[in-house]
Amino acid sequence: MAVNLKGRDLLSLLHLNLEEIVQILEYAQALKLKHYAGEPHRNLEGKSIAMLFEKPSLRTRVSFEVGMSHLGGSAVYLSPLDVKMGKREAVADIAKVLSRYVNGIVARVMSHQTVIDLANYASVPVINALCDTYHPCQVLADLLTIWEKKNELEGLKFAFVGDGNNMTNSLMLGCATVGMDVSIATPEGYEPKPSMVEQAREIASAKGSEVEITNEPKTAVDEADVVYTDVWTGMGQEGETERRLRDFAGYGLTTELLSHASPDAVLLHCLPAHYGEEITFDLVHDDPRSAVFDQAENRMHAQKAVLSLLL
């Protein structure tokens, strides 16, 4: 029987088990097929969401807004200048007021605590659209992309080379939950937090898979089925760019490094990319292994499934 996600929040992948992730991915694929067949799928006719953003966005904003309109609903975007969470107005008040107008809140915030606070006070589902610690919607789209390309998830080797950041945390959790072996290569001092690794390892051990943390990109990429990277300097870290460029030298994805992966590896990047740093323009645009733009498209299909199931 299908699991019931109605009314739930999506703050991190810690709160989604394998069955729930599979349900979201299967539903996303069904909605994607309907979209391409031009078949109506107005699951959320008359419903609306508020999109509360403290940081810039291209993919997340457009994929949620357009996705909501495909589903027959509407989305109201609130920019960092509109709301000023906790400054112009208390987070609790924002959550309670929005709950009187809309059926769901999609929030991109500085601190994970803000989505927790929103969820505590809102009476409608809250969806984390990126915070300092997680990016669960991105990883649902990533898993959908890997599944489409590889026809399976369990047992694959997933490699990440770069910063132990919000993407890394969500990727470790998502990949561990579906039974992939995870190997993360970061420079020394940029590893994901031990508490995050512990949580991912606990989930992985239940599936008999592994989460490896290394400082050696080749070790991570060796025979990997999926190779993933993200920027070295994330949103809000611009003041650290110079230091990070120095510390991450040698951690960029190159054709040479990718030659150690499985010959039919899938190459992913959540975007935006900093070309010439963590990856080159050519690898993203011209390499046959790149699924980066399918991945970006899948943000919309995965989120349409999340919205349909939660709202």
Catalytic residues: 108, 135, 138, 230, 270, 299
- Binding residues for ligand CP, rule CB under 6 A, total 9
Q: Which stretch binds ligand NVA (CB under 6 A): 25-33, 164-172, 189-197, 302-310?
A: 164-172
CB 184, CB 170: distance < 8 Å: no
CA angle 72, 292, 63 (to 5 degrees): 20
Q: List the single partner that 177 binds among ligand NVA, ligand CP, none, CB under 5 to 8 Å by kind.
A: none
d(CA 237, CA 18): 33
Contact flag: residue 130 with ligand CP (CB under 6 A): yes
Q: What distance, in Å, lies between the first and last C-alpha atoms of the chain?
A: 19
Q: What token pair was written down for 286?
A: 């011209």
Contact flag: residue 58 with ligand CP (CB under 6 A): yes
CB 278, CB 271: distance < 8 Å: no
Query: Residue 247 CB, nearest distance to ligand NVA (Å)?
Result: 16
Applying CB under 6 A, among 23, 60, 114, 233 the residue interacting with ligand CP is 60
Nearest to 267 by CA among 184, 146, 169: 146
How many CA atoms lie less than 13 Å away from 170 in the CB half-sphere? 27
How many CA atoms lie less than 13 Å away from 233 in the CB half-sphere? 17
Query: Residue 236 CB, nearest distance to ligand CP (Å)?
Result: 12
Q: Cβ–Cβ contacts within 10 Å for residue 174, how many?
A: 29
Q: List the single partner that 165 binds among ligand CP, ligand NVA, none, CB under 5 to 8 Å by kind.
A: ligand NVA
Q: Which stretch binds ligand CP (CB under 6 A): 7-15, 16-24, 57-65, 204-212?
A: 57-65
By CB under 6 A, what part of segment 89-148 binds ligand NVA?
A: 130, 135
Q: Which stretch binds ligand CP (CB under 6 A): 82-90, 154-162, 246-254, 270-278?
A: 270-278
Contact flag: residue 271 with ligand CP (CB under 6 A): yes
φ/ψ of 37, rounded to 5, equals -80, -5
Residue 218-257 contact track with ligand NVA, rule CB under 6 A, x = bound: ------------xx--xx----------------------
Q: Which residues contact 32 (CB under 8 A, 6 or more apart)?
A: 298, 301
Contact flag: residue 8 with ligand CP (CB under 6 A): no
Contact flag: residue 131 with ligand CP (CB under 6 A): no
CA angle 217, 219, 225 (to 5 degrees): 90
Contact flag: residue 110 with ligand CP (CB under 6 A): no
Give the residues lining the site for ligand NVA (CB under 6 A).
130, 135, 165-167, 230-231, 234-235, 270
Give the residues lining the site for ligand CP (CB under 6 A).
57-60, 130, 138, 270-272
